Structure 1
Amino acid sequence: MPKGEIYNRDSFLANIRVKVGGISPEIPVEKPNWSVSPQRNVLRGASQDELVQLLSDQCTQIHTDFFITTVDDLPSKLIEVFGFYEAESIVYSDDSRFSDYGIEQYLIEKKAFKWDNESREKSIEQSEKADIGITFSDITLAESGTVVLLNNPGQGRSVSLLPEKYIAIIPKSSIVKRMTQATDIINQQVKNNETIASSVNFITGPSNSADIEMNLVVGVHGPVRAAYIVIEDR
């Protein structure tokens, strides 16, 4: 199917900008200075250990298996979870943390497939076939039990979406209170002129839907099971 053509794009957008208040690409939108920010009082003063416990508690609500381990014991914990999930085929993201945390060699020995952004079709195909997809969490929201993935080219959204089961490896330091802190982190990256991911994925346990007669169905549009493995930072 041929691609459509866009006509009068600039004049169309210019007219919209006038209608909504004269904004333009040359004038950045200023962030409002709110008089009150109640969202910042939620979990105020909570320690990192308390956030880990909150995340653990939330996992019971979102049907997610929760594990905690150390960096040294991470390989054996992965073996435990793979056995628990009866994993035969594995796909994982192209992320230096797999090597940094000493588990990439084990995944290579397991003949796991590493996401290859230069061969996206093959990577997607492997993700469709895999029993388990594994990624590291970039930011983790304790309040909702949500893993945040900043999708750089090596991350590959299919790794967390297409396999039957999903494992998120969560450095303890990545755990924050809630969405408020996650947006603060991303906003600071923008201020620092850092390269920002083309998309940001928020994953809260396995796929769930209760749209049909309010009956909960798991696995409609993603993994049917999910596990979070929290690791104590070095």
Structure 2
Amino acid sequence: MAVHNREEFLNHVAKRLGRPLKLEGVKRPKWSVTPQIDKYKDLSKEELIDMLIKQAQEIGTNVFRTNKDGLVNVLKDAIKEYEGVKIITAKDKRNEDYGLIAFFDSEKDLQVHVWDYELGKDNMRIAEQADIGIIFSDITLAETATVTIFNNKDHGNSIVIMPKDYIAIIPTSTIVPRFTQAASQIHNRIANGEQIETCVSFITGPSNSADIEMVRVVGVHGPVRATYILVDDE
């Protein structure tokens, strides 16, 4: 990807900071304390899961826990609870690995759309009319009960922000303490020369807003309800 006006931009920043532009020999500082890394670092996986569940409940999100064999039944119940008929999901290999494709094919009452890059913006129109968006979390933050989605041509972020409700399937192997570890994973991918997705979405429960007189309103900017299904995959 080409970078335009890089030197001009950096010169402007350096000028505002009142120091010369330095492009070489820059070293990352070593912090004397690292609370962003140390906090929760000694928690076990089960303790992180307990933290995630508690926080999800605090933000008004349903939480279920199962294994791969039980996922379809839990998902079916969640869809029924939301009275969902129109479903949208990503073109994600995990749909096949976790048995979702077979489930969708067997449920004749469901109208399931799998994100199709060739349809362009029609995908967003379908998402807007969908009852439920179903996604897999790529990294899950226990501290804030946040799911992280790496969006790409087969996985538009409209899947989780436009439907009335959404369901996040969370493999327990994706759970980390907090945003610090998520950022580290992304940084490591870049450092290893991987092509990073152009959009990374951090989504925490259903849509909430309290901008006006601190009165909490649900569903203003996105889904009204959310369900997390934790799947033991280790």
TM-score (norm 1): 0.90
Residue 117 of structure 1 deviates from its aligned partner by 1.6
The 3-state SS of whatever aligns with 2:68 is coil
Q: In structure 2, how many angstroms separate the alpha carbons of the residues matched to 1:100 and 1:10? A: 43
What amino acid maps onto 1:222 in structure 2?
A: G
Q: Which moved more, 1:158-167 or 1:14-23?
A: 14-23
Of all paired residues, the percent bearing the same amino acid is 43
The 3-state SS of whatever aligns with 1:73 is helix
Residue 206 of structure 1 deviates from its aligned partner by 0.3
Q: Which moved more, 1:108-117 or 1:167-176?
A: 108-117
| Corresponding position: 1:51 with 2:20 | no
Whether the 8 Å CA contact 2:85–2:111 is kept in 1: the answer is no
Give the equivalent residue in structure 1 for 2:71.
Answer: 74
| Corresponding position: 1:87 with 2:84 | yes
With over 3 angstroms needed to count, the CA separation of the structure-2 counterparts of 1:28 and 1:191, relative to structure 1, is farther
Question: What are the equivalent positions in structure 2 for 1:169-184 lying under 5 Å apart?
Answer: 169-184=169-184
Give the equivalent residue in structure 2 for 1:3.
Answer: none
Q: In structure 1, how many angstroms separate the alpha carbons of the residues matched to 2:6 and 2:205? A: 42
**Match for residue 16 of structure 1 among 4, 12, 15:** 12
Deviations 1:77-98 (A, max 9, x none): 1111011111011000111111
Q: In structure 2, how many angstroms separate the alpha carbons of the residues matched to 1:14 and 1:215? A: 42
Deviations 1:75-121 (A, max 9, x none): 11111101111101100011111111111121244331001122121
With over 3 angstroms needed to count, the CA separation of the structure-2 counterparts of 1:175 and 1:16, relative to structure 1, is same
What amino acid maps onto 1:121 in structure 2?
A: K
Residue 42 of structure 1 deviates from its aligned partner by 1.3
Provide structure 2 residue ranges, at least 5 long, that are not aligned to the other structure: none
TM-score (norm 2): 0.90
Residue 27 of structure 1 deviates from its aligned partner by 4.5
Deviations 1:109-150 (A, max 9, x none): 433100112212111111001000011000000011100111
Question: What are the equivalent positions in structure 2 for 1:80-119 lying under 5 Å apart?
Answer: 80-109=77-106, 110-119=110-119
Provide structure 1 residue ranges, at least 5 long, that are not aligned to the other structure: 1-7
Q: In structure 2, how many angstroms separate the alpha carbons of the residues matched to 1:22 and 1:198? A: 31
Give the equivalent residue in structure 1 for 2:191.
Answer: 191
The 3-state SS of whatever aligns with 1:72 is helix
Q: Which moved more, 1:37-46 or 1:191-200?
A: 37-46
With over 3 angstroms needed to count, the CA separation of the structure-2 counterparts of 1:160 and 1:27, relative to structure 1, is farther
Give the equivalent residue in structure 2 for 1:123.
Answer: 123
Give the equivalent residue in structure 2 for 1:5.
Answer: none
With over 3 angstroms needed to count, the CA separation of the structure-2 counterparts of 1:126 and 1:45, relative to structure 1, is same
With over 3 angstroms needed to count, the CA separation of the structure-2 counterparts of 1:54 and 1:14, relative to structure 1, is closer
With over 3 angstroms needed to count, the CA separation of the structure-2 counterparts of 1:215 and 1:93, relative to structure 1, is same
With over 3 angstroms needed to count, the CA separation of the structure-2 counterparts of 1:14 and 1:164, relative to structure 1, is closer
Count residues in correspondence.
226
Note the aligned Cα RMSD (angstroms).
2.0
